[in-house]
């Protein structure tokens, strides 16, 4: 790893993303929005109608115009569009999809709701088989704007909450309390990851109750994030990577946490006979060197 790092602000990085998108012929307005959902897809997906239903059922309002008429999904830098573009083909060929050591998936949905008892986190993408549940949280440029983990008390309300009695005391002491006391803004949205972790733990717990022969269900949270090819040259991406590693070390006691960049994900499938051509389209759209 290089000792010297460069600085670049969020707008400069967004401009690089916009320039890349413009170079491949995608037209957008002066705010970075295309006119239709389909214009933000890297290819035509036969399962797009089903995916639209799942997005509309989510709580993020991804396909609903705001007061200015802008649709979040239509933004060039939309993390939802990035996630859909990446996983739609895998969802379509679920019986052929193997992620790391996980396979034989029986369910794949976007915007899956995972109630905790006091909130209902939505996972960007969700996989399930007979013994595993995997929730994916996808990030594009959001983490370029750091914030406090307990911003507006959004994490404190989980600490020792009686409605979360299924969590161990260590979960509160070592994970929630640890990040509530952090006074510096972080690029990694640890509050969101903790909530998602609670959600998958609760889902695993409920699945465990109803599966015959008391089969144990493994809860897995995947943090998949965009970064430029030369990310290691820039301070913001290196700090993000450091925060990911720190969170992983703390969270591993309570659930399986797998951080993976889109660069790493694409590398896994770029030579695959079925998925390789799709990965090339993803790289053509999102692969950027700053």
Euclidean distance between CA atoms 237 and 7, whole angstroms: 10
- State pLDDT tens for residues 159-216: 999 999 999 999 999 999 999 999 999 999 999 999 999 999 999 988 765 544 445 7
Is 38 a domain residue? no
Q: Is residue 199 part of a domain?
A: yes
- Residue 64 included in any domain: no
What's the pTM?
0.94
Per DSSP (E only), the strands in 105-264 are 107-113, 122-128, 132-139, 218-225, 256-261
Beta-sheet pairing, 218-225 with 107-113 = unpaired
Q: What is the pLDDT of residue 285?
A: 97
**Residue range(s) defining the domain that contains residue 245:** 99-286
Q: Give helix 262-269 / helix 276-286 axis angle, nearest 10°.
A: 150
User: pLDDT at position 1, please?
Assistant: 42
Does residue 62 sit within a domain? Answer: no
Residue 168 lies in a domain: yes
d(CA 23, CA 36): 19
What pLDDT sits at residue 2?
A: 44
The pLDDT tens digits for 100-124 are: 999 999 999 999 999 999 999 999 9
- Written as six digits, the tokens of 118 are 């006091």
Residue 52 lies in a domain: no
The candidate with the shortest Cα–Cα distance to 196, out of 221, 175, 164, 225, is 221
Residue 283, Cβ density class (10 Å: 0-12 exposed, 13-18 middle, ≥19 buried):
middle
Determine the pLDDT at residue 207.
74
Provide the pLDDT for residue 217.
Answer: 85
213 in any annotated domain: yes
What per-residue confidence (pLDDT) applies to 209? 56
Total domain count, the chain: 1
Residues of the chain with pLDDT under 70: 1-4, 208-215
- How many Cα atoms occupy the beta-carbon half-sphere of 213 within 13 Å? 3
Is position 165 within any domain?
Answer: yes
Residue 215: what pLDDT? 54
């Amino acid at each position: 790893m290089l000792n010297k790092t460069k600085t670049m602000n969020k707008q400069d990085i967004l401009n690089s993303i916009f320039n890349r998108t413009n170079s491949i012929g995608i037209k957008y307005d002066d705010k970075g929005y295309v006119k239709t959902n389909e214009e933000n897809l890297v290819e035509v997906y036969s399962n797009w109608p089903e995916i639209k239903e799942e997005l509309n059922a989510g709580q993020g309002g991804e396909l609903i115009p705001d007061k200015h008429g802008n649709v979040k999904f239509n933004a060039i830098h939309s993390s939802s569009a990035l996630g859909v573009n990446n996983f739609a083909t895998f969802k379509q060929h679920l019986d052929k999809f193997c992620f790391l050591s996980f396979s034989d998936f029986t369910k794949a949905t976007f915007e899956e709701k995972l109630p905790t008892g006091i909130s209902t986190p939505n996972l960007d993408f969700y996989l399930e088989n007979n013994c595993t549940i995997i929730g994916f949280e996808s990030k594009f440029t959001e983490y370029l704007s750091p914030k406090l983990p307990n911003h507006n008390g959004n994490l404190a309300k989980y600490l020792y909450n009686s409605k979360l009695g299924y969590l161990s005391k260590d979960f509160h002491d070592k994970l929630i309390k640890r990040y509530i006391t952090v006074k510096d803004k972080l690029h990694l949205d640890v509050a969101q990851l903790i909530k998602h972790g609670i959600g998958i733990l609760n889902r695993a717990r409920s699945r465990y109750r109803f599966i015959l022969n008391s089969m144990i269900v493994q809860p897995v949270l995947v943090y998949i994030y965009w970064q430029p090819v030369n990310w290691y040259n820039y301070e913001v991406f290196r700090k993000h990577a450091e925060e990911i590693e720190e969170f992983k070390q703390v969270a591993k006691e309570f659930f399986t946490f797998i951080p993976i960049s889109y660069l790493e994900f694409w590398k896994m499938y770029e030579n695959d006979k079925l998925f390789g051509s799709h990965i090339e389209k993803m790289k053509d759209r999102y692969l950027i060197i700053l």
